[in-house]
């Protein structure tokens, strides 16, 4: 298990094999491009699904909602 850094916990990662599995030829994809893909995917997830998924999963794990 990966130890959290400063309270952060990793969600996922991307590998050139993921591109290959999706049908792309990743043989010449450099690390800079992989970092760009990872960054754009992270942004897309946060902007489109992260908060919804967090609510659903936290509720499913019965984490109480903070009282205001």
- pLDDT value at position 2? 57
pLDDT in tens, 1-41: 556 678 888 888 999 999 999 999 999 999 999 999 999 99
Token pair, residue 24, equals 């792309």
pTM for the model stands at 0.77
- pLDDT value at position 9? 84
Tracing tokens 């659903």 back to the chain, one arrives at: 56
Closest CA to 42 of 13, 18, 1: 13
């Amino acid at each position: 298990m990966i130890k959290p850094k400063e309270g952060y916990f990793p969600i996922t990662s991307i590998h050139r094999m993921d591109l290959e599995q999706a049908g792309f030829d990743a043989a010449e994809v450099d690390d800079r491009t992989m970092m760009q893909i990872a960054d754009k995917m992270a942004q897309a997830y946060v902007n489109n699904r992260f908060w919804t998924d967090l609510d659903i999963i936290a509720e499913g794990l019965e984490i109480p909602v903070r009282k205001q």
